[in-house]
Amino acid sequence: MNTTHNKLFEPITWHDFEKVELRVGTIVDAKIFEEARKPAYQIWADFGDFGILKSSAQITQHYTCQSLIGQQIVGVINFPPKQIGPFISEFLVTGFADENGFIVLNQPHKPVPNGQKLI
């Protein structure tokens, strides 16, 4: 059994993982976050029974506001709201850094119902 990975990060339990509400939502609106210190968008996503939630995301390198509308994304919806300048972020947009450090969104490759939990 290879235990090298345990040295790279702190292991969590299945119960810990289940606490994280990673849910899918569909982006319904996006606009440039003009007051942000780094280039960012304000986005609103429909998380089904959890409602339409808003977030700030530094994803301007790979996406335009218009291209985001209708895309499904994965967000953490159970963090407390976070003040970002004059904006209150209600969920964390998830993604991966590309080779230049720019964020690529974490998205299902087929449509799923809004609000579905990542399992």
Residue 3 pLDDT > 80 = no
pLDDT score at 4: 59
CA dihedral 101, 106, 110, 115 (to 10 degrees): -160
Q: Tens of pLDDT along 94-110?
A: 999 999 999 999 999 99
Share of the chain above pLDDT 90, in %: 91
Does residue 7 carry a pLDDT above 80?
A: no
Strand ranges, E, within 6-116: 22-32, 41-46, 52-57, 72-76, 82-84, 87-89, 92-93, 95-97, 103-105
Closest CA to 72 of 36, 25, 113: 25
Q: What is the pLDDT of residues 55-113, one digit of tens each?
A: 999 999 999 999 999 999 999 999 999 999 999 999 999 999 999 999 999 999 999 99
Given the candidates 2.60.40.10, 3.40.50.970, 3.40.50.300, 2.40.50.140, the CATH classification of the domain at 21-105 is 2.40.50.140
